[in-house]
Amino acid sequence: MLYKTYLFIFLIFGCIQAKELVFKGKYNAVVQTYQKSNIEYIASSQLAAIFGGKRFYVAEKAKEALKIQGVEFVFTVANPYVIVNGVPYNLGSTPLKEGENFYVPVEGFVRILKGMGVWDVNVAGDTIAVSLKEEEMNENSNLPVNRTKTVKKNENFIVVIDPGHGGKDPGAKGKRGTLEKNITLDIARRLKVLLEKNGIKAYLTRDKDIFLPLSTRAKFANEKRANLFISIHCNGSKNRELRGAEVFFLAPAKTNYAREAASRENASLLFEDNPPVKNTDEIEAIVASLLHTEYIRESSELAEYISTHISSKTGLQNRGVSQAGFYVLVGAFMPAVLIETAFITNPAEEKLILSPAFREKCAQGILRGILEFKKFISSLNRRSENE
């Protein structure tokens, strides 16, 4: 076993000689670090040993949780962000992984430790002095609440609902003059009421007819430390015969149809004074870089549940689940989906959309999908805690 460990270190870090890092203060230790591409790494197992913490690997999500002094760090394969008690921090470099162990970039990890307010951290050369602050984890701590733990009560579960478009951005328009921005806001309001009746905290990115830049919507969800981000839209197409509901999650598009759907929704960027990206290629590059983020699988699962229930509740054709580069979902640090409820450009479905009863059914279908996904996540968390 020891032979295999050293063989791995040789293969992943090459022939660069290991370096010693000295921890002083409360946590006294001398450990070896390893370098690749001029970046210094330390094994998460060593960090657990130094701080007297625990670590465990969750194979289903390709991630590892490191718990030290009441703080949980969650590392994900090929993702430079570490989730610390539910809040994302950029390590600056992606962790490396072998088997059930992660190798964490030293500089980024120490920088995050310094900013946590739990430890006093001083760095001098290869020596890191770390001591625990007295107020470390008292009830008045400014540390964010850990939302990665098992949700035991509905009130600990937060959903941010994003009514698509708004203000100067009307979205798609039906033959009768129906505007997408008005329909999405009505469905979102109904969904919020239903969620709160089920004991789930819900926020709207907008509660009136105003314009919001796409990038601010996911940011709002991050600030609320939401468990889910739901962006609601109406579908549209030059082909007025197309019908049905579909749900998307963020990943590079696999079909021209999915690219066209994303391009249509991303057109909202044209209404922004200073759009963060200016063409589809830029968005595709951003999405490609997010391919291995922690939430893709969970977003896909959420999309499946919602797709099934919204079609069942409304009677709409189920167009299934697809993936594409919807900019509104970029940067959401939680499972996130974009729902196309029906084709506003199809005269028959536009007529349906104009019915308050139909919009209520849309909200009910989304609710059922969320509740079923919540059960799925809770079961995964329980299984992880028992391992």
The angle subtended at Cα 372 by Cα 371 and Cα 375, nearest 5°, is: 90
The average pLDDT across 22-51 equals 76
- The burial of 271, by beta-carbon neighbours within 10 Å (0-12 exposed, 13-18 middle, 19 or more buried), is given as middle
- Backbone φ and ψ for 125, nearest 5 degrees, come out as 65, -125
pLDDT digits 0-9 by tens, 215-246: 899 889 988 889 999 999 999 998 999 999 99
Q: What confidence score (pLDDT) does residue 229 get?
A: 96
Distance, CA of 154 to CA of 148 (rounded, Å):
14
Is the pLDDT at 8 greater than 50? The verdict is: no
Tallying the residues shown for the chain, one arrives at: 387
pLDDT score recorded for residue 25: 56
Determine what percent of the chain is predicted with pLDDT higher than 90.
38
Q: What's the mean pLDDT in 12-34?
A: 59
Which range, 67-76, 147-156, 238-247, is most confident?
238-247
pLDDT band at 307 (very low <50, low <70, confident <90, very high): very high
pLDDT higher than threshold 90 for residue 189: yes
Q: What is the pLDDT of residues 173-184, one digit of tens each?
A: 999 999 999 999
What pLDDT score does 100 carry? Answer: 67
What residues are paired with 56 via a beta bridge?
65
Give SS3 for 242: coil
Residue 285 has a pLDDT of: 57
| Cross-sheet strand order for the sheet of 158-163 | 201-204, 158-163, 228-235, 336-343, 245-250, 318-324
Q: Looking at residue 319, what is its pLDDT? A: 96
Cα(293)–Cα(300) distance, integer angstroms: 12
Res 137: pLDDT: 39
- Average pLDDT value for the chain: 79
Q: What is the mean pLDDT of residues 64-74?
A: 81
Q: Is the pLDDT of residue 168 over 60?
A: yes
Q: Is pLDDT above 50 for 12? A: no
Q: Are 361 and 295 in contact (CB under 8 A)?
A: no
**Which pLDDT value is given to residue 91?**
84
pLDDT tens digits for range 266-285: 777 777 777 666 566 666 65
Please determine, for residue 386, whether its predicted confidence score (pLDDT) is greater than 60. no
The answer on pLDDT for 200 being more than 50 is: yes
99: left (phi over 0), alpha (psi -120 to 50) or beta: left
The whole-number average pLDDT for the span 198-209 is 97
* pLDDT, greater one: 313 or 297: 313
pLDDT, mean of residues 332-336: 86
* Tens-digit pLDDT profile for residues 340-366: 999 999 999 999 999 999 999 999 999
Residue 298, both tokens: 């969970």
pLDDT band at 308 (very low <50, low <70, confident <90, very high): very high
Contact 352, 358 (CB under 8 A): yes
| pLDDT of res. 309 | 97
Q: Which tokens sit at 371?
A: 């509740």
pLDDT at 63: 75
Over residues 100-146, the pLDDT tens digits come to 678 888 888 888 887 776 677 777 666 667 666 644 433 333 333 33
Q: According to the model, what pLDDT value does residue 385 have?
A: 54
Find out whether 37 and 52 touch, Cβ atoms under 8 Å.
no
Evaluate if residue 198 carries a pLDDT over 90: yes
